[in-house]
Amino acid sequence: MKGTVFTGGRVLAGGALRETEVLVRYGRIAAVGGGLDRTGCEVVELAGNILSPGFIDVHTHGGAGVDVNAAGYDDLCRLSAFFASQGVTGFLASILTDTVEGTERAIDSVCAFMDAPARGAKCLGIHLEGPFLCQKYKGAMPPELLREGDAELFRRYQARAKGRVRYMTVAPEVPGVLDMLGEIRGECTLAIGHSDADYETAVRAIDAGVESCTHTFNVMSLFHQHRPAVMGAVLERDVFCEAICDGRHLHPGTVRMLLKCKGWDRVVAITDSMQAAGLPDGEYMLGVNPVTVTDGDAMISGTSIRAGSTLTLAQAVKKISAFTMAPPERVLPLLTLNPAKLIGEEHRRGEIAVGRDADFTVLSPELDVLATWSAGENIYAAAKE
């Protein structure tokens, strides 16, 4: 078999949706263009649907009954399969603030899964959401486990992960964090979040290497004309901004404003999902927190504090399209190329271009996920009616 040719649909390539063909060999994209030689190739007919780069979720705590902090290998296999059904080909496993022992156990589980991956979405590494976060905007973080900046502890986690901590969220006003940023700059992508920093401190953090804002607008100091705070700094500076586009965490008008202020190339759609994603309302866990989900809204049980979301990227792409009325070629990079750039993966994924991994999501014209391909292998196909 010489390869696989995807044909008969629209392909998101070169920033535009066009009727063309894609040739895959050895798990990578070998050619993009019309009239490719199909001799000896498997031919995949797209039947008028859209071939998009695979979705990438850089901030997720779980789904399908799986909580990343507590997950074992089999759990992560189930999570990987669930993500594939949502069009996701790559994700970071987000570890919520935990004890040192709990964090290391979660790191060990994720690394074991990465060493022996299942047939589903690839885990691209680890996201540490904490423990260097502030008490005022702790959100779902256990307050007794939050810590001052400690480069030695970060490096302990990074050594345990064999360099697989790709992304970490910090609050720069917490004592020791700015010094820590100066020490660990370049060792992973850094984000500001769960923070009460003033504008000046947030800018210092960006100058010290912070490249992103975690779930922008949520659990952080917000903009005031006399006190621009974290929001003022991240809107002004050239950093990426995560966005939970479920209609709960951000009003549709807020999503539109963020895209207008930052530009479509600097917003990263995330889920911040927890184990209830894909499941009915009920009682769940997020790290050490009991969570109650009502009408799809996850709250720490007995409080009005949101505990992540039940959003999937399959839902997010349709919601962003509805919020903005933008065409698919404008919306899809928020779930593909932008997250790839954020974590330094754009040389391998996020675009349909020669040399990239053959990670694809097949979408209907209505943006329903029909199939998912990873390294040229079909890892999910929607049931046909």
Same domain, 170 and 250: yes
Same domain, 201 and 325: yes
DSSP code of residue 37: -
Q: How far apart are CA 193 and CA 268, in angstroms?
A: 14
The encoded tokens of residue 331 equal: 């919306």
Active site residue 196: no
Same domain, 323 and 354: no
Same domain, 226 and 322: yes
- Give residue 28's domain range: 3-52+350-381
Cα torsion through 157, 158, 161, 164, rounded to 10: 140
Same domain, 249 and 289: yes
Same domain, 154 and 107: yes
Same domain, 244 and 365: no
DSSP code of residue 54: P
Distance from chain centroid for Cα 1: 34
Same domain, 251 and 293: yes
Q: Are 183 and 154 in contact (CB under 8 A)?
A: no
Same domain, 282 and 363: no
The per-residue pLDDT string of the chain (385 residues; one tens digit each, 9 = 90 and over) reads 589 999 999 999 999 999 999 999 999 999 999 889 899 999 999 999 999 999 999 999 999 999 999 999 999 999 999 999 999 999 999 999 999 999 999 999 999 999 998 899 999 999 999 999 999 999 999 999 999 999 999 999 999 999 999 999 999 999 999 999 999 999 999 999 999 999 999 999 999 999 999 999 999 999 999 999 999 999 999 999 999 999 999 999 999 999 999 999 999 999 999 999 999 999 999 988 999 999 999 999 999 999 999 999 999 999 999 999 999 999 999 999 999 999 999 999 999 999 999 999 999 999 999 999 999 999 999 987 6
Same domain, 182 and 48: no
Same domain, 135 and 194: yes
The encoded tokens of residue 342 equal: 């954020």
Please count the structural domains in the chain: 2
Q: Are 340 and 56 in contact (CB under 8 A)?
A: yes
Query: Per the residue annotation, which of 98, 198, 272, 359 is the catalytic one?
Result: 272
Instruction: Look at the pTM and tell me if it is higher than 0.95.
Output: yes
Query: What's 159's domain CATH number?
Result: 3.20.20.140
Query: What's 373's domain CATH number?
Result: 2.30.40.10
Same domain, 76 and 191: yes
